[in-house]
């Protein structure tokens, strides 16, 4: 198996050790056995470089992952544990459940608060790690707690939403390979309000029934597909990791009275002294139009400036080169540093 078979960007070399965990039991079994055989008596301190090298990599849907080109020697667990149990006021979902399957099942059961996340590829585990979101809604909105296995402590632990310190495309466990998310418990919020960005965009007339929300879901998916933000094997412009960069939050004084930012859309954030800028606009106005490529293999999607995609035969080195080029160009023009959203291995 090659890592490129597991990633939506189609990048990554041969895997030397991997297990596919098809359900919750195999996920627990394989990972605990790995802990016992490789980590517990390794003799390394848990914060040492050597211990970190031994930590496994958990792959969900591989839609936010950028692995290296060469042979990958760390242990990989591919998580397909996908059970959902719905209670009166909450539901439990295993971390390998695809977001779209969770949303479908919830809509069928009269739970509509997650519809805005329709069309985001990936598993629930990957979404929590990254606090995935769209249209003003985030996976963390109704999260109560998660169950994890901590490969440093060798323990199963529950972490509450507060402990995860969620922020824009961030959680405390992002880029922490010692944490395996096993499952999550969410609140069922029957009185939720559709995010205003969704009502603005779709003019949704207060959908109420499962059929209304299925229609809304279809509209969202159609809207996303126009931007190649639905992963489709036949759509080369979707063969990326979604948004490669975050919308940067900068000091308000940087843009005030600065005409260079005149045509850059901006959004308020909690801190009144800061402002969030559209990364897509910054890139496009740095002479990097949709479809831009340095060598024809990796380039900006023809349908979305924020997505770096594999046009065919791209390597990690191609993506890295393009990424650096974009960052440099944006910095030179706007004095703004772009931060990446993707997870690099
Ligand atoms: C076409 C396209 C559109 C996209 N649109 C959006 C969007 O609108 N909004 C958005 O937020 N994102 C978007 N993304 C990015 C991506 O889909 C999300 O970040 C998604 O949540 C990643 O989930 P995954 O299962 O694929 O994670 P992976 O890519 O498999 O993993 C990502 C990281 O999470 C870790 N991880 C995964 N599962 C677990 C687990 N169970 N326990 C511990 N760690 C784990 C991995 O080790 C890795 O560090 C898009 C991607 C594509 C390709």
Q: What pLDDT, on the 0 to 100 scale, is given for residue 204? A: 63
Residue labelled with tokens 């843009």: 255
The Å distance, Cα 121 to ligand 1 centre, comes to 7
Q: Which residues 6+ apart lie within 8 Å of 15 measured at CB?
A: 1, 2, 3, 71, 72, 76
Q: What are phi and psi of 288, to 5 degrees?
A: -125, 85
The Å distance, Cα 62 to ligand 1 centre, comes to 6
Beta bridge partners, 98, equal: 123
Q: How far is CA 151 from CA 44, 156, 184, in A?
A: 13, 9, 18
Query: 42-64, pLDDT tens digit by residue?
Result: 999 999 999 999 999 999 999 99
- The protein residue whose alpha carbon is closest to atom 10 in ligand 1 is 132
Which has the closest alpha carbon to 76: 231, 180, 184, 182?
Answer: 180
Regarding the domain delimited by 236-344, which CATH topology (the fold level of the hierarchy) does it fall under? 3.90.78
Query: 88-106, pLDDT tens digit by residue?
Result: 999 999 999 999 999 999 9
What percentage of residues in the chain have a pLDDT greater than 70? 100
Report the chain's terminal Cα–Cα distance, integer Å.
17
Which one of 20, 242, 280, 309 would you pick to mutate in the ligand 1 pocket, going by the greatest count of ligand atoms within 8 A of its CB? 242
Pairing verdict, β 72-79 and 15-21: parallel
Regarding the domain delimited by 3-79, which CATH topology (the fold level of the hierarchy) does it fall under? 3.30.43
The Å distance, Cα 161 to ligand 1 centre, comes to 18
Q: What pLDDT, on the 0 to 100 scale, is given for residue 190? A: 77
CA dihedral 269, 231, 19, 163 (to 10 degrees): 10
Protein residues with CB under 6 Å of any ligand 1 atom: 8, 57-65, 79, 95, 120-123, 125-127, 129-130, 132-134, 179-181, 229, 231, 238, 240-242, 343
Report the interhelical angle of 99-108 vs 210-226 (nearest 10°).
150
Query: 174-183, pLDDT tens digit by residue?
Result: 989 999 999 9
What percentage of residues in the chain have a pLDDT greater than 90? 90
Domain ranges of the chain: 3-79, 84-226, 236-344
The answer on pLDDT for 68 being more than 90 is yes
Lowest mean pLDDT: which of 116-120, 202-206, 213-217? 202-206
The answer on pLDDT for 343 being more than 70 is yes
Q: Which residues 6+ apart lie within 8 Å of 325 measured at CB?
A: 294
Q: What pLDDT, on the 0 to 100 scale, is given for residue 136? A: 86
Structurally, at CATH architecture level, domain 84-226 sits in: 2-Layer Sandwich (3.30)
């Amino acid at each position: 198996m090659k890592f490129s078979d597991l990633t939506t960007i189609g990048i990554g070399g041969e895997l030397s050790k991997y297990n596919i965990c098809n359900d919750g039991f195999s996920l627990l079994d394989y990972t605990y056995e790995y802990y016992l055989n490789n980590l517990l008596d390794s003799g390394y301190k848990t914060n040492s470089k050597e211990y970190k090298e031994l930590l496994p990599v958990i792959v969900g849907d591989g839609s936010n992952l950028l692995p290296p080109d060469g042979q990958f020697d760390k242990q990989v667990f591919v998580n397909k544990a996908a059970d959902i149990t719905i209670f009166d006021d909450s539901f439990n979902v295993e971390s390998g459940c695809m977001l779209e399957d969770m949303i479908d099942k919830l809509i069928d059961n009269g739970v509509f608060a997650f519809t805005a996340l329709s069309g985001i590829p990936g598993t629930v585990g990957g979404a929590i790690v990254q606090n995935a979101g769209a249209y003003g809604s985030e996976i963390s909105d109704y999260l109560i707690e998660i169950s994890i296995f901590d490969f440093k402590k060798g323990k199963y632990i529950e972490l509450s939403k507060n402990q995860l310190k969620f922020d824009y495309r961030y959680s405390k466990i992002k880029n922490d390979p010692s944490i395996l998310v096993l499952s999550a418990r969410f609140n069922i919020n029957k009185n939720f309000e559709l995010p205003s960005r969704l009502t603005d965009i779709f003019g949704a007339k207060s959908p109420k029934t499962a059929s209304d929300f299925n229609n809304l879901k279809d509209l969202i998916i159609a809207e996303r597909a126009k931007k190649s933000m639905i992963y489709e094997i036949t759509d080369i412009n979707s063969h990326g990791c979604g948004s490669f960069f975050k919308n940067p939050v900068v000091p308000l004084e940087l843009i005030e009275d600065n005409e260079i930012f005149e045509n850059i859309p901006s959004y308020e954030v909690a801190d009144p002294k800061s402002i969030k800028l559209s990364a897509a606009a910054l890139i496009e106005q740095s002479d990097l139009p949709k479809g831009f490529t340095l060598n024809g293999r990796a380039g900006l999607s023809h349908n979305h400036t924020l997505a770096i995609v594999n046009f065919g035969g791209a390597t990690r080195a191609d993506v890295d080169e393009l990424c650096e080029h974009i960052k440099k160009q944006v910095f030179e023009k706007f004095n703004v540093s772009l931060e990446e959203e993707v997870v690099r291995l």
